[in-house]
Each structure stands twice: as C-alpha cells, then as structure tokens.
Amino acid sequence: MKKGYMKAAVFKDIEHIVIEERPIPECPSEGVLVKVNACGICGGDIRNYYNGLKDGIKDQIMGHEIAGEVVEVDPGVRRFKAGDRVALAPDVSCGECYYCKRGQVNLCENHRMLGTHFPGGFAGYIAVPKIVMERGFIEHIPEGMSYDHAAFGEPSSGVLACQEYNQVSYGDTVIVIGDGPVGCLHMEVAKARGARKVIMLARGRMKQAQKFGFEYIFSNKDPKEATNKVKELVGPGADIVICAVPNTAAQQQALELVRKRGRIIIYGGVPKSNPMTTLDSNKIHYDEIMILGAFSYPCTGLYHALQAIHNKDIHAEMYVNGKVSLDNIVNGMEMVTSGQAIKVVVDPWM
Ligand SMILES: [Zn+2]
Ligand SMILES: [Zn+2]
C-alpha cells in the first residue's frame, strides 16, 4: 500500500464490488477521522449488493455497522479525542423536517445513510463529517468491549427500539417468526424485557438459533404444522407476534397466532418487487388485532444497544462468528446467506 492510501471495498454496480486503493480521507472540519477496526456485514448490505444502493448511488464504499479508533480530531470537536474507541450507526437525519422537529429522527423525510450517501466502513478509515457528528450516531465503546462486538451495536439498536416502541412487557407471550440474527435478537430482547414465554419459528438457520438455548424453537418448514403446534402452547394466542423474515407469508401466519387485541409487528422489509400482502381483515376487525411497523431507532438507539451488549442482555459473542478481510467481502456475504455464520465482521486490516 502506498503511504497515505487505504484499502476500500467499493460498490461499483449490482453484484460488482471492487477492492481499491483510495487516499485516506482528511479529517473533516468539525468532524473526526476513524480507523475502522470492524465493520459488520448487514442483511441490508447483501440486499444492496444484489439490488443496488438507494437512490441509484454507485461508486460508493459500503458498510454501516462500524467500530474503530478515532485517529484525528478537528479542533472544533469536544466530545472525542484521538485514541477514543467509537461505534457508529448509519442513519443521518436532517433536523428540519416534520418528523425531525418531533424527535422522530428515524422517520426523517431526508434520511441519509453511511455506506450509501456517505462513504461507509468497508475501508481502512472513515471520515465522519460535521452533519454525522450532529445528526448521526457516534458513541464511545464501553470499557472492555471488543470492536467486533461494538459493531454489533447497530443491528441491536433497531430491535431494542422496536420492542420499546411497541412495549413488549413483563409476562407477555411473544412469538418471533425468523431465525436470522434479527430473529435471535428479538428473542433475547423480549426475554430481557420480561416476556414470560418467547417462541421462535425457525427455518434454515435453526441449528444456529438453538445454540442460544432458547426454550421454544419450532421448525417452520411446514408452516401449517408449526402453527398448530405453537397454538397448543400459547392458548388464546400470543400477545405479540414479530415478523422478522423478508416474506409476506409470515404476516399471514402471524395473524393466525396472535390473540384477540394482540399485536403483530412487521420488522424488516420484503422484496421491493412485491411488497403487497393479503390478510384476513375480518379477523383483524372482530379480534381487534393491531398491525404495526417498526424501523430503525431514536437518537438514543446506539447508546442503549452498546449498554445492552455490555450488560449481556444481548450476547454479541453468540452472533459474531465469522471474520473476513476486505478482499473476501463477497465470501463473507455468502457465509451469511448460506447460514454458515450468523454475523460476519470485516476486518479491513486483515
Ligand atoms: Zn445493519
Ligand atoms: Zn428530517
């Protein structure tokens, strides 16, 4: 590597990532320069790799589950100093729109992201500009936490916020449809919030999920059979059913599993080509079912997630079980897709 240059995984176009040598960015005015030590591969990164970045953006460094060390600080920055260990999350809100003015930054009309609108963390360094310092997410990593585990703060943030917003509470029966990292996170967070019975409906990644020691995991290979088995366990139905898989069949199944006046939470998108769903509206009406969406997190999201990992409510070490170099980033994505690993972290210095 030439002096002053770094390696970066650059999204050129659909299914086309190129490893380039790029100049190390300068420390932005009123910003910081962070040496990236870990950047998680998100389900969203994989979706973007196959479908393209938002707004048709190309020639961009992807990656948004970032942890690293501050190496340079603009004199205008007081919160951080060189040597600080920090975690970053992608969302950057505008501060001006209807939602931002009400503190609902996750719903910002002009929402931008690291790894899409700003260069992301699949690189040796990331410049954190003023707008991200002010309207994005950068937090100190708690003492003793590894960079790999800190990078898991971002995916944890959304799950914590979803259950806070939808008030998963003491004594609840919660069903999670989905066995990926997000499904496992929902299981852990529901338990931490005091849910009495937490049940997972799993498919291809059941073996991985079983390692968490959850009490109730059912195979969802045959959804009809699974629905019947779970119904026996939950009596009148679950208080809350969380759909954590990218398909609409889960939403229909959720409606069969939820109790009267129960809540169905749609967490995670389905393919953009066909987002439409069919639900029995009579059941929704007569049983007073609430169907809710949840996306991203408030400004406290990343801080709370790092605390939850630190307190072992979320066991980051159970998720992060793969590591690749920048050169092997596409391999890393395949490791996630195939179920070989739950969460793969890229180490740009490997
Ligand atoms: Zn992510
Ligand atoms: Zn806004």
- Distance from Cα 154 to the centre of ligand 1, integer Å: 6
User: What spacing in Å lies between the alpha carbon of 100 and ligand 2's midpoint?
Assistant: 4
Question: Separation of 107 CA from ligand 2 center, angstroms?
Answer: 7
- Partners of residue 114 on adjacent β-strands: 118
89 Cα: distance to centroid of ligand 2 (angstroms): 17
**CA–CA dist 209, 216 (Å, integer):** 11
* Per CATH, domain 162-293 is 3.40.50.720: yes
For domain 5-141+319-347, give the CATH number: 3.90.180.10
Residue ranges with CB less than 5 Å from ion ligand 1: 42, 65
What is the rounded CA–CA span in Å between residue 76 and residue 95?
20
Q: How far is the CA of 153 from the centre of ligand 1 (A)?
A: 9
CA distances from 332 to 115, 181, 238, 341 (A): 17, 15, 36, 9
Distance CA(258)–CA(112), nearest Å, equals 35
Q: What angle do CA 220, 337, 115 make, to 5 degrees?
A: 125
Q: Which ligand is nearest to the CA of 296?
A: 1
Q: Are strands 137-140 and 173-177 parallel, antiparallel or unpaired?
A: unpaired
Q: Contact, 257 vs 223, CB < 8 A? A: no
Distance 181 CA to ligand 1 centre (A): 11
What predicted TM-score, i.e. pTM, was given to this entire model?
0.94
Q: For residue 98, how far is its CA from the centre of ligand 2 (angstroms)?
A: 7
Per-residue pLDDT of the chain (350 residues; tens, 9 = 90+): 789 999 999 999 999 999 999 999 999 999 999 999 999 999 889 989 999 999 999 999 999 999 999 999 999 999 999 999 999 999 999 999 999 999 999 999 999 999 999 999 999 999 999 999 999 999 999 999 999 999 999 999 999 999 999 999 999 999 999 999 999 999 999 999 999 999 999 998 898 899 999 999 999 999 999 999 999 999 999 999 999 998 899 999 999 999 999 999 999 788 778 889 999 999 999 999 999 999 999 999 999 999 999 999 999 999 999 999 999 999 999 998 888 888 999 999 99
Q: What angle do CA 193, 195, 200 make, to 5 degrees?
A: 110
Residue ranges covered by each domain of the chain: 5-141+319-347, 162-293
Whole-number CA gyration radius for the chain? 20
Closest ligand to the CA of 47: 1
Centre of ligand 1 from the C-alpha of residue 81, in Å: 26
The token pair at 308 is: 């939850």
CA–CA separation, 217 and 184 (whole Å): 11
Residues 6+ apart with CB under 8 A from 305: 153, 154, 156, 157, 160, 297, 314
